[in-house]
Chains A and B, each alone.
Chain A
Amino acid sequence: MAEKKKAVIVGGGTSKFGVRQAHLLDMVQEAMKACSDDIPALKPADIDGLIVATTMAGRHSSALNTAPLVVHRLGLKPTSICIRLDTLCAGSNSAIIVAKGLVESGIAEVILVTGAEKVYMPQRWETNYTQLAVNDHDWDSAMGLGVPPPFFAMIAKMHMKRYGTTKEQMAHVSVVNYNYGTDSPMAHFCGRTLTIEEALDARIIADPFGLYDCCPLSDGASAIIIASEERAREMTDRPLVYLRGTGQHATHSMSAGWPGETLAEWPHLKTAADTAYKNARLTPKDIDVAQTHDCFTISEIIELEELGFCKKGEGGEFVASGAIKLGGSIPTNTDGGLLMYGHPFGASGARQAIEICKQLQGRALHQVKDARFGLTHNLSGTCSQHTVVVYGQEPVE
């Protein structure tokens, strides 16, 4: 049997995230342009595989079979794989797992992973209404669950009750992430900053969440190149960033199947993380920088616990201690995260991968000194699935 190939992320870019005056396919083209600027040697003919991650395209852009549309608009002629993939907020991170397997097995050599969403509609009500179809429609959605704030607000209330987490500790997450993202030109809230006082004084969205505890919904697209080590060396002189390990764990779709003792425990994330760490031959202590799914401030707090960066229940104190800032034990969401950079569902995983790629190549805007290993995480659905990818400057030997 031939030796297994090694998969790397070569580089990537995003469109501007935000409330965009643009079609879905405009934003995919913008992301491809940004990716091409990041990897100047890359040509359309180099790409033999395409994975498009999107949830809303079918409904909001009348584009159910999205991959051929992207092929045409980007001038691609894929020969190994050409698919659309949907795992909601984990779409492009799931695509990275698939791309890794295809490259390692030799089925594909150079894969474009792109994630894109057009969220905002000519009438705003439609955006919230579409959310009924991304939850378990016939059950939780029929209870009135549309956009996720009410569900995560209950998670926050449980975490506050069981572990003493405070609104001020949650505010630390948004303040840190806003400060990281303020100079990211493509971020939804580029140029904005935030203080603890502003965060705590913001209008209430769903108790206990104020405005800055919640990430925005964003239009936007991202694009990255996953390639074999050999092909990557032909395209770039930068240090290679290897895909070391992945884990994806799903347990249920609607509330009756919730796997935790209460809403404050996410054992399904722990399982996904343990799987990724095992495949990467690493432990949480080895990780130098992380991009976690901060859809809400409480999410990042619980994720830091379940990913093993602090003890269960101590996430609130941990974020308030400065551990997630540069110089802290685990700088997290160093490009602003979902809270600041924005959240076009299927595009977010690849956006996180771009930041980890830059961190491990030593060229991030907020560079973590000597970062060798990085991690990305997405949750999706009503916190029913978790996706974790671990990257390193060296491959697993």
Chain B
Amino acid sequence: MADVEKVEIVGTPALDGTYISEMDMWPFECQEFNRIYPFYEHLRDGKFTTTKCKKCGHIAFPPGVICPRCWSEELEWVELPQRARVVTFTETQAGAPIGFPPPIIMAWLSFGEGSPLKQLLSRIVNCKEGELKEGDEVKFVVFDVPSHPIEVKKETKICDRVYYAFEPVK
């Protein structure tokens, strides 16, 4: 796993440890709050996945609990390509939301012919400002992000979290 975010903090970095979900910069990933939690479990295994409809064959992104083409509930998890090309990109110094260390390098990715996922906006991590070029190949990468607490009866359970981005193929 890439070392991208600080992970010592539980909750919302901007709030110095106190957790207000309304202020959370990451998704609810745990089973208690999300029916697409397998997506995040697959991330932990290094897999980039989504849901495919068993009725009509449509592969949607992001994943869901019904097919957005035919509304069937009969879905299965499939893997998506982990390599893409940079179509265009931007490097942001100012105005990045607190919690994302600047510069944020953001790219418009193309997954090429035959991929069910055609294009995606992604952060490019493990890359210095000025290094990235249009046409560069990038690969999927998973990293830890801050966990959050949930109340289970009188106990507090900590939900660890991961997220993904792309990094240059060196």
**A139, B62: Cβ atoms closer than 8 Å:** yes
**B120, A263: Cβ atoms closer than 8 Å:** no
- Decide yes or no: A128 and B98 within 8 Å by CB, A143-B123, A206-B92 being known contacts: yes
Looking across the interface, which residue of chain B has its beta carbon closest to that of A260? B119
Q: Within the assembled complex, what's the spacing in Å between the Cα atoms of A151 and B119? A: 14
B95 touches which of A128, A158, A207 (Cβ 8 Å): A128
B119 touches which of A129, A140, A205, A258 (Cβ 8 Å): A258
- Decide yes or no: A256 and B163 within 8 Å by CB, A141-B25, A144-B100 being known contacts: no
Q: Within the assembled complex, what's the spacing in Å between the Cα atoms of A132 and B94? A: 15
**A151, B14: Cβ atoms closer than 8 Å:** no
**B97, A144: Cβ atoms closer than 8 Å:** yes
Q: Is the interface of A mostly helix, strand, loop or mixed?
A: helix
**Which residues of chain A have C-beta atoms less than 8 A from B122's C-beta?**
143
A149 touches which of B23, B26, B61, B95 (Cβ 8 Å): B95
Q: Is B87 among interface residues, defined by CB-CB distance under 8 A? A: yes
B121 touches which of A133, A151, A158, A161 (Cβ 8 Å): A151
**Which residues of chain A have C-beta atoms less than 8 A from B107's C-beta?**
154
**B90, A157: Cβ atoms closer than 8 Å:** yes
**A150, B104: Cβ atoms closer than 8 Å:** yes
**B104, A144: Cβ atoms closer than 8 Å:** yes
Looking across the interface, which residue of chain A has its beta carbon closest to that of B28? A138
Q: Which of B107-152 contact A (CB under 8 A)?
A: 107-108, 117-123
**B97, A131: Cβ atoms closer than 8 Å:** yes
Q: Closest approach, in angstroms, between the C-beta of B33 and any C-beta of chain A?
A: 11
**B95, A129: Cβ atoms closer than 8 Å:** no
**Which residues of chain A have C-beta atoms less than 8 A from B104's C-beta?**
144, 150
Q: Within the assembled complex, what's the spacing in Å between the Cα atoms of A293 and B90? A: 22
- Decide yes or no: A125 and B98 within 8 Å by CB, A157-B90, A256-B61 being known contacts: yes
**A154, B88: Cβ atoms closer than 8 Å:** yes
Q: Is B22 among interface residues, defined by CB-CB distance under 8 A? A: yes
**B88, A161: Cβ atoms closer than 8 Å:** yes
- Decide yes or no: A128 and B97 within 8 Å by CB, A139-B62, A150-B92 being known contacts: yes
**A137, B120: Cβ atoms closer than 8 Å:** no
**Which residues of chain A have C-beta atoms less than 8 A from B10's C-beta?**
none
**B62, A144: Cβ atoms closer than 8 Å:** no
B163 touches which of A142, A205, A255 (Cβ 8 Å): A142
B26 touches which of A142, A262, A263 (Cβ 8 Å): A142
**A150, B97: Cβ atoms closer than 8 Å:** no
Q: Is A186 among interface residues, defined by CB-CB distance under 8 A? A: no
Mask: chain B, 78-99; 1 = CB below 8 Å from A; 0 = not:
0000000001111110111111
Q: Is B159 among interface residues, defined by CB-CB distance under 8 A? A: no
Q: Is A59 among interface residues, defined by CB-CB distance under 8 A? A: yes
**Which residues of chain B have C-beta atoms less than 8 A from A207's C-beta?**
90-91
Q: Is B30 among interface residues, defined by CB-CB distance under 8 A? A: no
Looking across the interface, which residue of chain B has its beta carbon closest to that of A160? B88
Mask: chain A, 244-274; 1 = CB below 8 Å from B; 0 = not:
0000000000111010001100000000000
**B88, A144: Cβ atoms closer than 8 Å:** no
**Which residues of chain B have C-beta atoms less than 8 A from A194's C-beta?**
none
**Which residues of chain B have C-beta atoms less than 8 A from A256's C-beta?**
61-62, 117-120
**B88, A157: Cβ atoms closer than 8 Å:** yes
Q: Is B165 among interface residues, defined by CB-CB distance under 8 A? A: yes
Q: Closest approach, in angstroms, between the C-beta of A119 and any C-beta of chain B?
A: 13
In this complex, which of A150, A153, A161, A255 has the most chain B Cβ atoms within 10 angstroms of its Cβ?
A: A150
Q: Which of A41-55 contact B (CB under 8 A)?
A: none
**B25, A154: Cβ atoms closer than 8 Å:** no
Looking across the interface, which residue of chain B has its beta carbon closest to that of A253? B62
Q: Which 4 A-B pairs have the closest CB atoms?
A: A255-B121, A138-B27, A146-B97, A144-B100
Q: Which residues of A contact B (CB under 8 A)?
A: 59, 125, 128-129, 131-133, 137-147, 149-151, 153-154, 157-158, 161, 205-207, 254-256, 258, 262-263
Can you spell out 17 A-B residue pairs with CB atoms less than 8 angstroms apart?
A125-B14, A138-B62, A140-B121, A141-B97, A142-B25, A142-B26, A143-B121, A151-B106, A153-B90, A154-B121, A205-B94, A205-B95, A206-B91, A206-B95, A255-B120, A256-B61, A256-B119
Extra inter-chain contacts (17) besides given A145-B121, A150-B92, CB under 8 Å = A129-B98, A132-B25, A137-B27, A138-B26, A141-B25, A142-B27, A146-B95, A149-B92, A151-B121, A154-B107, A154-B108, A158-B88, A206-B95, A255-B119, A255-B121, A256-B61, A256-B118
